[in-house]
Amino acid sequence: MDEVFRALADPTRRALLDELFREDGQPLRALEERFAMTRFGVMKHLKVLEEAGLVVSRRRGREKLHFLNPVPIRLVHDRWVSKYAQPWTAALSDLKHRMETPMEKVFEIYIHTTPERLWEAITDTEIRSKYQFGMRATSDWTPGSRYEMRAGGGDGPDGELGQLLGEGENLEIDPPRRLVQSMVALWGDDVKSEGTSRVTWEIEPVGDSCRLTVTHDQLREGANNQLYGGWPMILSGLKTWLETGELLTTPGSLLYRS
């Protein structure tokens, strides 16, 4: 967390984050045009933000695109803010940090665990419900198979299976490294019309920990931000459970938990 606070202490770096909040996935040339400093100066500030995990870069052809990663800010919120705030404060914080122009969103987090245990946490029905708003993921986890996300069970409109909140296809499965899924959100009329998007989970061992990168793409421009706005809380809850065995109790994390 020290690296996050140091990165946020500089006004230029905060301005860079504001610029990525305004328009995510920008190349260096676009960012340097908006700041009265050299290309090298912008690169130095971006490097600090990347080292703090606040910015994630991805190569697209000849260009390197930079994405705002709100997960570290979510972790700061969960550790120091949510315990003092009223329930509606966390909801407003989520709304503030959702992006306006999605297309592609990249989220990154480091978790002290093994790739095998992290993969299990992503694919196990009971474990998944502990950090993804209480939703239960069911599938046989084979390439081309179907998966479903349901709320609890026993009292939902679908009987013992629980309410169907999302579904899709497992496009690529490479345990414990990579999972690519199509996603159709079904929890409300405002998201049902958005159609199919794609979620990619990538696990990379780093020392005695793992770097987990979640990329949510194939979103239409201007898509409903409910589709991707919950990822910081989901990943924060995943990290908390794997490292401490405890559950987050922020209002959003309790949404479908029985």
CB 191 within 8 A of CB 198: no
Task: Read off the pLDDT of each residue in 15-40 and give the average, rounded to a whole number.
Answer: 90
Reported as a pLDDT band with limits 50, 70 and 90, residue 82 is low
Residue, of 243 and 61, whose pLDDT is higher: 243
CB 170 within 8 A of CB 143: yes
pLDDT in tens, 163-211: 999 999 999 999 999 999 999 999 999 999 999 999 999 999 999 999 9
> Is the full-model pTM beyond 0.95?
no
CB 28 within 8 A of CB 39: yes
Q: In sequence order, what E strands does the chain have?
A: 26-27, 55-60, 63-68, 104-111, 135-139, 146-151, 163-174, 178-185, 196-206, 209-217
Q: Residue 157 has what pLDDT?
A: 47
Rounded distance, CA 179 to CA 258, Å? 27
pLDDT in tens, 119-133: 999 999 999 999 999
Q: Residue 171 has what pLDDT?
A: 96
Q: Residue 71 has what pLDDT?
A: 82
Give the CA radius of gyration of the chain: 18
Burial class from Cβ neighbours inside 10 Å (0-12, 13-18, 19+) for residue 29 reads exposed
Residue, of 256 and 117, whose pLDDT is higher: 117
